[in-house]
A and B are shown apart, each in its own frame.
Chain A
Amino acid sequence: MIQDLIQFMLRHLWPLVFGVVIVAVLPLLAGYVVLMERKVMADMQARLGPMRVGPHGLLQPIADAVKLLMKEDITPDKADRWIFWLAPLISVTAAMAAYAAVPFGPVFQVADLNVGLLFITAVMSMGIFGIILGGWSSNSHYSLLGALRSSAQVISYETAVGFAIVSGLLLAGTLSMQKIVQAQAEQQVWFIFLAPVGFFLYLVGSIAETNRAPFDLPEAESELVAGYMTEYSGFRWAIYFLGEYAAMIMVSSIAVTLFLGGWMRPFPNVSWLGFLDFLPAVVTLGVAGYCFWRAPRQPVQIQKVVMALFGAGVLLVAGVLGWAASLPETMTERGGILGAFWFLLKVFSYIYGFMWVRFTFPRFRFDQLMRLGWHILIPLSIVNVVGIGTALVLAKQMHWPRWSAISLTTAVTLLIAAWLVHLELERTSPASGGAEA
């Protein structure tokens, strides 16, 4: 039995290593996404953001983690202790387990399941339990209301997101995450260009599913303090936060894999653009140079040292990326390392989009949120799936050129979208008497 286990582990050595790497790096990554969010927010509001801990606040996430670890852990008196303890764990486990199927590169993936996308959707859908149970077990009105809002919202938008994913799946013809990326290489186009409406629906739906502004009703601080996590403090709160950001990186990874070409560089089939493979090294080299240039300009001695260390770290990454790009095409390391760079670059661009939306649009009202979901997004997502299916039939059975089929059905879908919005405006405008009561 022990031998069985050892054999098993040896046979699956790399997946195990990848799993450990993901679980180890993800909290750090989530911490830096928080820092990125604060910096982007500061930039958009013409401030500096965190500047004190480390040069330009670069060590802020670590300081925050240590602070949260040492804070007092409070359990409310009348809370359901057992579930209060369980809820944050569900939230973070669900988000982390989903990473098992994410392809960070052609080889850097824990398992290429043949139901990969379905697995991710399934595991992610369990994260809602963390929110509901956490809100219920706190025995507080704010928490309960936040949990109710959140579950209503996630259930409503899951349908639209599911259909948006289906529109991408129809084009790929497979559920395996690796094969979805390969399908985009073979068809020589990112699926965002074939299913723009599907991508838009996924973008809106994924913002709502991760409970982020402008759909952050579950934690609207002006109404509900902090929604379902009002009663949480210290490290449990940090675990909730980690789960939330892990889920955010996760939905971005799905979007990148399904619509934005996954780990492939732009134009992977155009050979004269091969120099793009050296772009990662050049970009990171530039970042490292900037770090070294800024290092002597830091105000304090320790910050100079830390900044130089950061530069050295980035230089190391640049070296690895350059080495990978100079390897022959057939080596798996080459695709793996460069793939990870492009994948993370795309994921972070998507997250930047999330933040941009967050700091641009005001928060929705709850009835507006529900109406947007049920009256516009869900019907539109169904129409979109039918449209993509029709285009595929036209292209495959009737031998239409693919692009004309796709543009025809997309145009029809957009017309229907305009009609839905028109209906909605008519229904709610005060002039027509409106259904508002």
Chain B
Amino acid sequence: MSLDQIFFYFFGGIAILGAVLTVTRRNPVHSAVFLITALLATAGIFLLQRAEFLFAAQIILYVGGIMVLFIFVIMLVDIDVALRRVQFTRQRWVALLLALVLGAQVALALWMGRAGFRLPPARPASTEGNTELIGRVLFQSYMLPFEIASILLLVALVGAVMMAKRKT
């Protein structure tokens, strides 16, 4: 096993473990901490793929930005301990059935696409910085879709501010 593989399984294992613990912990703050762990491990996998820009963007946006807001909100909402104990998942059998069907589908898809697991040897990473490449793709090849997406986000932002203002 090469060092790259060891790191891949290390990060992959942490990501899966973090994701599982995120949905099974009862305390929402603990869940958030495990979600952060999973996101960081994903960032590590990006780094293994020599995608430094994505690695940094993943940490800045998801961990440093979104998760801070998550925890901020969770902290302010004082969840009653008793309420946490209440089971709100009553449809256990339906859920189990659906999960089995979904699992079968995923397994079938994997089985049918198994030829794709044998990857061709990787091309040597480009010597040009990742940041420059992404910048060129975003601002030259896909300029219009990028601008449309940013206008959409801007509209959402202004809408959120307006809705927050109306209440007070």
Contacts and interface: CB of A to CB of B under 8 A. Distances in A.
A151 interface: yes
A115 B131 CA distance: 7
A77 interface: no
Given A122-B64, A175-B129, A1 B1 contact: yes
A151 B29 contact: no
A158 B64 CA distance: 10
B52 A122 contact: no
Contact of B129 (A5, A115, A119, A137): A115
Contacts of A148: 72, 75-76
B131 A155 contact: no
B131 A114 contact: yes
Contacts of A158: 64
Contacts of B64: 122, 125-126, 128, 158
B75 to A, nearest CB: 5
A40 to B, nearest CB: 32
A122 B3 contact: no
Interface string B1-44: 11100100000000000000000000101100100100000000
Contacts of A122: 55-56, 59-60, 63-64
A161 interface: no
Contact of B2 (A4, A86, A151, A174): A4
Contact of B75 (A8, A82, A128, A132): A132
A158 B53 CA distance: 19
A8 B2 CA distance: 11
Given A132-B68, A133-B71, A113 B60 contact: no
Most buried by B among A115, A123, A144, A151: A115
A83 B52 contact: no
Most buried by A among B29, B59, B60, B130: B60
Contacts of B65: 125
Contacts of B56: 115, 118-119, 121-122
Given A4-B2, A118-B53, A126-B59, A155 B130 contact: no
B29 A136 contact: yes
Given A114-B52, A115-B52, A83 B30 contact: yes
B43 to A, nearest CB: 8
B3 A5 contact: yes
A82 B30 contact: yes
A82 B72 CA distance: 19
Contacts of B53: 115, 118
Contacts of B1: 1
Contacts of A119: 52, 55-56
B131 to A, nearest CB: 6
Contact of A125 (B55, B60, B69, B72): B60
A129 B29 contact: no
A80 interface: yes
A115 B6 CA distance: 24
A95 to B, nearest CB: 14
A210 B63 CA distance: 19
Contacts of A115: 52-53, 55-56, 129-131
Nearest to A114: B129
A28 B57 CA distance: 32
A137 B56 CA distance: 28
Contacts of A113: 52
B60 A121 contact: yes
Contact of B33 (A114, A133, A176): A133
A312 to B, nearest CB: 44
A125 B129 contact: no
Contacts of A137: 29
Nearest to A132: B71
Given A80-B27, A128-B64, 14 more contacts: A1-B1, A115-B52, A115-B55, A115-B131, A118-B53, A119-B52, A121-B56, A122-B60, A126-B63, A129-B36, A129-B67, A147-B75, A148-B76, A155-B69
5 nearest CB pairs, A to B: A125-B64, A122-B59, A118-B56, A115-B52, A114-B129
18 contacts: A4-B3, A5-B3, A83-B30, A83-B33, A115-B55, A115-B129, A118-B131, A119-B52, A119-B56, A121-B56, A122-B59, A122-B60, A125-B60, A126-B64, A132-B68, A136-B29, A147-B75, A148-B76
